[in-house]
Amino acid sequence: MNEFVELMTTRRSIRKFQPKMINNAELDQVLYAGLFAASGMGRQPCYFIAVRDPETRHLLSSMNARILGQPSIDPFYGAPVVVVVFADTASPTYLYDGSLAIGNMMNAAHAVGLGSCWIHRAKEEFETQTGKMLLQEWGLPETVEGIGHLILGYPAEDEHPEAAPRREDHVVFLMEKKQFPALVDVLTEDSVVFHGTATDKPGAIREAGQIVVDLKCVGDEYIDSMLKREADFSTYLGNGVSVAHGTVWGRKRIRKTGVGLVRFPEGIDFDGEKATLVFAVAGVGDDHMDLVQQISVAALNDSVVQALNEAEDYDAVKAALKNLRLYK
């Protein structure tokens, strides 16, 4: 692994420090890294106040603790140095720029053997009268806003936090488009039900999911995966259309690509919205999300949705979905 990438992956937020003060050379390197953080249009709207003075540090700690609602604690975890990061609100990207600067400095701190942690509530601190007085004393513009505190120090001997497992399903690769199956070709005569019998959302999802189960695309467990996804995030697209599909775990068990469609003329309540068309998607590999996208396009097309709601047979459904080829 690249040395710099490895450095970033081994950095941890430290919440227990040795009492001794860090040296100037280490602090300078951390601040220098902050100065070179990316900023919108290169505006460099950030200001850093490096607090080594125990009295000022105690004042900031007390202010922060009161805002936190726990006045008896030290929100800075005993770290000897606090770098307060501000950014000028005159820059439209000030919040992101300040955040990037803190991120740069956290990685730099780890590189030089220091521990660090981002502590919030800087915005609220410097909206108080005491905070405004400090801004004036430090010569900062009135237009700055507190982004955060970066606490710095040598990690305590027994402070070696383990990294939480990374969420691999939070990375999505959108590769160069291949030839995906068109929805109109995947939705067969056997996968359309014109009069659903379910009366509620879980029942509608189960009924649509049963189609792809019957088509041997997935096993029964996929329906539970669809319900789990719905509990985490609504699959209602709008315009009376829902596209139920499984979680990442469920999608790994798809055997072949298939789509089911159940029409509910009276509508099914999807958390206050009425769904008349409930799709169930089970796509192998990249087919899955492409079919979801095709159905999303259909939901945006009033004429397609109307035609699907009025279709009396499979040929009418197929004719309605042929319009989607215009978007491919």
SS3 content of the chain, % helix, strand, coil (to 5): 45, 20, 35
**Which residues are designated catalytic?**
245
Q: Residues 6 or more apart from 263 whose CB is under 8 A from it? A: 192, 193, 194, 195, 196, 276, 277, 278, 308, 309, 311
Report the Cα 308 to chain-centroid distance in Å.
34
Q: Residues 6 or more apart from 98 whose CB is under 8 A from it? A: 45, 46, 85, 86, 87, 147, 148
Secondary structure in 3-state letters for 231-295: HHCCCEEECCEEEEECCHHHHCCCCCCEEEEEEEEEEEEECCEEEEEEEEEECCCCHHHHHHHHH
Which of helix, strand or coil describes residue 44?
coil
**Can you read off the two tokens belonging to residue 51?**
């607090």
CA distance 56 to 51: 7
| CA proximity to 36, closest of 28, 26, 44 | 44
β-strand pairing of 144-153 with 115-119: antiparallel
